[in-house]
């Protein structure tokens, strides 16, 4: 735990969706939350909400495609609060396009955010966390790109960069979003899943509930709870693992 007795978590893409729910849950659990995003208004809104509930949070713009920003935000936080206790690499995008229409630009953009974005933030935080000998890194991925990918964790006690990097790569690399229509992600009710352009859209999401074994689409809090667990001492002997949080979709349907 950092100086002052309060653990600090940094979350990317925390202005909306899963990242925002995760920010709220960590704040409720007593963490100081560094909310980061490219959506400034939404990010500041999450901070106000947390402060309104008596929690501690601050907003910083962090575009995960920008190495200088990632270094600066992480170094600033660690300079003031000591080594981070948890890094949640959650920022991500999706492209729903048939393979023939998948442009190099879209492919590169997805890798810059979903894969290299994870690396940039974790790389910046790792040295201090390793030296402190504690802390957790959790990368939010997708069941779409990897048969067993969902949420992965890597403890800095035994860093496993290959593990979280491959999970982070999963949404966008080997199987590719939209490359084969039968490969579907765990569905969580957020802007991403509600987008007809990038995912199922509202009607498709409701239809999905019929074939999800738990008979409902996931809520952001369903993921946030698991992320909080992975960063907690309850997961102290767990590292380099991938946890699928999809209401049974992978095992039940695919």
Ligand X SMILES: NC(=O)c1ccc[n+]([C@@H]2O[C@H](COP(=O)([O-])OP(=O)(O)OC[C@H]3O[C@@H](n4cnc5c(N)ncnc54)[C@H](O)[C@@H]3O)[C@@H](O)[C@H]2O)c1
Q: Which residues bind ligand X (CB under 6 A)?
A: 12-13, 15-19, 37-39, 62-65, 90-94, 113, 140, 142, 171, 185-188, 190-193
- Which is nearer to ligand X, 78 or 172 (by Cβ)? 172
For residues 254 and 233, give the distance between their C-alpha atoms in angstroms, rounded to a whole number: 33
- To ligand X, the closest distance from the beta carbon of 43 in angstroms equals 8
For residues 32 and 56, give the distance between their C-alpha atoms in angstroms, rounded to a whole number: 5
- To ligand X, the closest distance from the beta carbon of 214 in angstroms equals 14
- Which is nearer to ligand X, 91 or 235 (by Cβ)? 91
3-class DSSP state of 158: coil
Phi-psi region of 34 (alpha: psi -120 to 50; beta: other; left: phi over 0): beta
Spatial neighbors of 254 by CB under 8 A, at least 6 apart, are 182, 183, 184
- Which is nearer to ligand X, 128 or 167 (by Cβ)? 167
- Which is nearer to ligand X, 2 or 90 (by Cβ)? 90
- To ligand X, the closest distance from the beta carbon of 134 in angstroms equals 25
- Which is nearer to ligand X, 134 or 144 (by Cβ)? 144
- Which is nearer to ligand X, 37 or 85 (by Cβ)? 37
Half-sphere CA count of 187, side-chain side, radius 13 A:
27
- To ligand X, the closest distance from the beta carbon of 140 in angstroms equals 4
3-class DSSP state of 53: coil
Q: CA–CA distance from 172 to each of 63, 97, 179 (Å)?
A: 18, 12, 10
- Buried b / exposed e over 225-251, threshold 16 CB at 10 Å, is ebbbbbbeeebeeebbbbbbbbbebbe
- To ligand X, the closest distance from the beta carbon of 64 in angstroms equals 4
Closest-CB residue for ligand X? 92
- Which is nearer to ligand X, 16 or 129 (by Cβ)? 16
- Buried b / exposed e over 75-104, threshold 16 CB at 10 Å, is eebbeebbbbbbbbbbbbbbbebeeeebee
- To ligand X, the closest distance from the beta carbon of 4 in angstroms equals 27
- To ligand X, the closest distance from the beta carbon of 212 in angstroms equals 11
């Amino acid at each position: 735990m950092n100086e002052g007795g309060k653990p600090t978590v940094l979350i990317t893409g925390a202005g909306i969706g899963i990242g925002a729910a995760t920010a709220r849950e960590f704040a409720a659990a007593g963490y100081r939350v560094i909310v980061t995003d490219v959506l400034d208004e939404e990010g500041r809104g999450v901070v106000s909400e947390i402060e309104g509930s008596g929690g501690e949070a601050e907003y910083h713009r962090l575009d995960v495609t920008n190495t200088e920003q990632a270094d600066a935000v992480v170094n600033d936080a660690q300079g003031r609060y000591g080594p981070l206790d948890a890094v949640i690499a959650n920022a991500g995008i999706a492209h729903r396009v048939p393979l023939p229409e998948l442009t190099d630009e879209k492919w590169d953009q997805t890798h810059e955010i979903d894969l290299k974005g994870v690396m940039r933030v974790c790389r910046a935080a790792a040295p201090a966390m390793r030296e402190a000998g504690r802390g957790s890194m959790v990368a939010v991925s997708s069941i779409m790109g990897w048969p067993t990918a969902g949420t992965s964790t890597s403890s800095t006690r035994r860093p496993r960069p290959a593990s979280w990097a491959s999970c982070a790569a999963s949404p966008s690399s080997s199987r590719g979003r939209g490359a084969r229509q039968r490969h579907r992600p765990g569905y969580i009710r957020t802007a991403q899943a509600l987008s007809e352009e990038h995912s199922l859209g509202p009607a498709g999401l409701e239809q999905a509930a019929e074939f999800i074994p738990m008979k409902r689409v996931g809520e952001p809090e369903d993921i946030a709870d698991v992320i909080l667990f992975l960063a907690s001492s309850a997961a102290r002997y767990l590292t380099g693992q991938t946890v699928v949080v999809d209401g049974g979709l992978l095992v039940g349907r695919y």
